[in-house]
Amino acid sequence: MSAPAKKTAAKAATSKKAAAPKKTATSKKASAAPKKSATKAAAPKQPTVAKKSAARPETHTALVRRARKINRELAEVYPYAHPELDFENPFQLLVATVMSAQTTDLRVNQTTPALFAKYPTPEDLAAANPEEVEELIRPTGFFRAKTRSIMGLAKALSEDFGGEVPGRLEDLVKLPGVGRKTAFVVLGNAFGRPGITVDTHFGRLVRRWKWTDETDPDKVERAIGELFPKSEWTQLSHNVIFHGRRICHSRKPACGACPIAPLCPAYGEGETDPDKAEKLLKYEKGGFPGQRLKPPQSYLDAGGLPAPPLAGREA
């Protein structure tokens, strides 16, 4: 090989050696970096809404849009949402709602069949022996106070309303043990008149979703009423309460199984792992019976199961 050719070959070898990447610890770390970022990408992310709200306050218009979108999503998840107290007429619903304070709807539903079998009308209940009524409703707790309330409202219905439950808010709230929450349950579900039911689940969720910061039930009712058309109030109440009982629990919400997670500012307060979150689901979402002994057919068609009767009592 001639001298010029040898020089050319030597230069090529040198440049090729310089171009080759060195196998150092740094290059190994660099090659491992994509795997690390892929792991981060797979982890659950905080919803966009929560990040935006932290940087810039949500406008009222944006709040209305988000609130209504959440309600639409809930309506798709719970197309069978309904009042979870068993009743056949306004009187039964009124009594059952008063009895539901400080207990579950399930416990009330397991208790009222025997009560209504013995006292089917306001006149019958008004004339009852208080001790016998107390014994019948004892499983619901606070049975003495509840006996005074339901016997008092039965007497008022008999004497002031001809034994019929009135269909006006101003009349209902005059009855013993009946506040706005109870009145709206009766108006919305027995008379078809719109109302927002602010129970513990409803108040907790609307604050968690940043729909309002109010804690007083009457103020919560007014604040939420401004976000939705009046015609949607009753069903909105069912949707929110159903979600609170099944997925968005008080102490440990099942965030990883929540259908509205991208819209929720509180995402991450509960379990975000989908498999672990699924184990937290209650009632039909978790494959368990619901709260009503005689639920609507739409609920049964969707896979819901009726609750068992109280042991030793007829359903």
* Active-site amino acid positions: 181, 199
- Is the separation of the CB atoms in 185 and 197 below 8 Å? yes
For 293, which DSSP code?
Answer: S
DSSP letters for 210-272? TS----SHHHHHHHHHTTS-GGGHHHHHHHHHHHHHHTS-SSS--GGG-TTGGG-TTTTSS--
Residue 235, token pair as written in the block: 């069903």
Asked whether 240 and 223 are in contact (CB, 8 A), the reply is no
Report how far apart, in Å, the C-alpha atoms of 82 and of each of 114, 228, 253, 287 are. 23, 19, 21, 18
Q: What is the C-alpha separation between 284 and 236, in angstroms, rounded?
A: 19
> What is the per-residue burial (b if ≥16 Cβ within 10 Å, else e) of 156-179?
bbbeeeeeebbeeeeebeebebbb
